[in-house]
Amino acid sequence: MAANVNTNKVRNEEFKIWKKTIPSLYEHISTLQPKFSGSLSSAQAVPRSILFGKLISENADKGLLNTLIYYAQRGDIYEISVQLPLGAYKGFENKELPQPKYQEFFSEPTNSRWVFEGQPIVKLKSNSPTSTLIAMSSTASLAWFDESNKQPLKTLKGPSDSQMECDFDVSTDGKIVVKYEVLPEYTPAATKISIINNTDNIGEVIRSITLPNTNSSRCVKFHTANLFSTVSDDNLLRFWDVRAGDEPLCSLVLDSSSTPNSGSNTESETEDDGKITSVESSKFVDTLFLTGSDTGVIKLWDLRSIAAANDKEVKNATELVTLFQTDNDPVVNIQFSPSEPECFVTVGASGNVYHWNIGCIFSENDSQDENANSEESYQDYIQERCLKFLHTGGGRRSTYKSDDTSLIKGSVTQHPLIRNIIATVDDDGYLSVYKGFYGRDGEIEESE
């Protein structure tokens, strides 16, 4: 008991120090503890997921920008209005912006906007034009919602009523949904890929593919309108075409070891790359994608190097760059920026949010030569240049986090239209919206 009291005191002091430094760390930050979240017991891990909506409106006279967040708690989805300073959205050269006149940073919703009855929601995705949202529950069930009804427009039930590892994604043209789930009744273990209509007959399963001898459905990600990839416990990154048969086009065999991470204290000659937990494809260059592992290793890849091998199992593909989250913090989610092709965020099992910019890798061809004394020094150089910001919430992100990483996965969202605006939800329901301070433009250019 005494140890817990001392730990809480330290955490409280860390949070107080962080609050004092907010003006130098953030261009903007606002927080809300929704009243509806307080009615639930904090002793139980409650599934929560958030997603920024695409709606924005300006109030120039008051210097404000209005947008919204979809906030899912258990089976309820709420709409929360958010007020931001107008300068967060637009640059106004030679024009002084009015001081923001906030009415309230957030609206406090009283009733849910949509309900997925009896289904704890773990993931949300926007889905215009066929529907507003798609929600996935912890039982691998899907629900499509539109603006006209509180109940789902369409549902697709999972294989059982038990909680399981599952994921889904929407094709880049919005026509197909792919769901990836475990088949609990199979012996030996197996996973299933479902290719689902998302246009004229939403929710219709076009076909299914069973993967025998796999017992984990960690991630599914579309790279183009037809090409998607899946990751299971065998650490194979399989690439599929929705128009092709029941066999993958090819698989990337991911080695579990790499060159040393100089930021680590390990004495071994190789660094454990771990098992792949997350995949993210670029929104601007469809051949680029990222992988993240359970040992905090992030790698950038080019699909063309994998395709050039012309092999069913590609074993010798080389990543473009390797980055590391601190203290081997496992990667649970990766999100490329919707507005800046060189930027992305990663989310650790700690709850912390890492902001990256890999522009220097492509813009400075001489950086390798300048730092070529050793591979270790070059890795240090890249790591320092690419990690731009770390959001911990003053230790709150790691303090109020679930031990179930699937619940952390949906706890971070980037605004689709407003650059560098991020929202997070902690395990106790505490909502934050922020824009990190990366340095003034002149300072950034000088450091580059």
Residue 172 confidence class, pLDDT cut points 50, 70, 90: very high
Do residues 359 and 342 lie in contact, with contact meaning Cβ atoms separated by under 8 Å? Answer: yes
Q: Is residue 38's pLDDT more than 90?
A: no
Please provide the average confidence, as pLDDT, over all residues in the chain: 86
Tens of pLDDT, residues 246-263: 999 999 998 665 444 444
Is the full-model pTM beyond 0.85?
yes
Mean pLDDT within 269-294: 89
184 — phi, psi (to 5°)? -65, -25
Q: Is residue 364's pLDDT more than 80?
A: no
Residue 20 confidence class, pLDDT cut points 50, 70, 90: low
Determine which of 69-73, 132-136, 253-257, 327-331 has the lowest per-residue pLDDT on average.
253-257
Q: Is 140 left (phi over 0), alpha (psi -120 to 50) or beta?
A: left
CA–CA distance, 133 with 125 (Å, rounded to integer):
6
Q: Which tops the pLDDT comparison, 332 or 93?
A: 332
* pLDDT for 316: 84
* pLDDT for 366: 45
Where would I find the H helices in 67-212? none
Q: Is residue 94's pLDDT more than 60?
A: no
Most confident stretch, 8-12, 44-48, 234-238 = 234-238
Q: Which tops the pLDDT comparison, 91 or 125?
A: 125
* pLDDT for 185: 82
Q: Is residue 447's pLDDT more than 50?
A: no
209 — phi, psi (to 5°)? -130, 125
Cα distances (angstroms) measured from residue 166 to each of 138, 158, 314:
7, 9, 26
SS3 361: helix
